[in-house]
Structure 1
Amino acid sequence: MDNDKVRMYVSIANQQVYSHKDDSPWEYEVEMSREFLPVFNQLFSQIGRLEFSNLLRGHSRPFFQYHYDRDNHDIDLRTMKLYALIHEFTDDETKKFIEKLPYFTRGNPKITSAPVQPFS
């Protein structure tokens, strides 16, 4: 890969991107330009805010069903975007794994790995 790219380690579970392999447990290794790091951080931040909103909603409206909650759909959308980013910058083996996730379906992918542009 290009010289300006760095290896990063992404943890969806911990909502973090690490620059060193031994910093913390991680699930995905990516090789990308540092300018894409804010994209990951922004998506993780948005998911965190939405999850907190869900926590509050769960206590104030426990009768409201999960699958009707808009915040849950927004979390799913951002999670799909995270997997699309990882798919864009990872190795072939991980790409194949991600393509088997429910976010991808045969003939009708819910997300695509189109070239990603960093935030300006």
Structure 2
Amino acid sequence: MEKETYYISVGSRGISKIKTGTPFELEIEATEDEIRALRGIFDEMYNADVMGFLRAHVPFWEYHNDRENDIIDRDLMNVYQMLYDLGKTETKQHIESMGILTNLDGENHSTM
């Protein structure tokens, strides 16, 4: 499959082929299958957000025992790893500068 340029906004979970179509933070080169996989992770994050919203209205449920937050954290790491792998040079540099793919022992887990 042929790779195309996509513009990604992690905060709004946006994916666009049009550079001026929506505000974006990162630029990647991806196939349609890779974009489907990224959209699938964004969808999982949305569903976990909805469940977290519902959970937030249960006063005795402790925040630190929240499976939905764990799902969002895991998915966010997966998104950034995927964007790093598919990213153009500027995208890779930006994600590296964020330090989000560095684990607690200080080792960088990016694949560049």
- 2:26 and 2:94 map into 1 onto residues whose CA distance is 11
Aligned AA for 1:86? Answer: L
Give, in angstroms, the shift of residue 108 of structure 1: 6.0
Q: TM-score, normalised by structure 2?
A: 0.84
Find the counterpart in structure 2 of residue 69 from structure 1. 66
- SS of 2:29's partner is strand
Match for residue 26 of structure 2 among 7, 20, 28: 28
Which residue in 1 is equivalent to 2:76?
79
Aligned positions of 1:13-52 closer than 5 A = 13-52=11-50
| Identity among equivalent pairs (%) | 28
TM-score normalized by the length of structure 1: 0.79
Give the length in aligned residue pairs: 109
Q: CA RMSD in A?
A: 2.1
Paired residues of 2:5 and 2:29 also in contact (CA < 8 A)? yes
Amino acid at match of 2:25: E
Q: Note the C-alpha offset of 1:6.
A: 0.3
Cα distance in structure 2, aligned partners of 1:23 and 1:97: 21
SS in 1 for 2:42: helix
Structure 2 regions of 5+ residues with no counterpart?
A: none
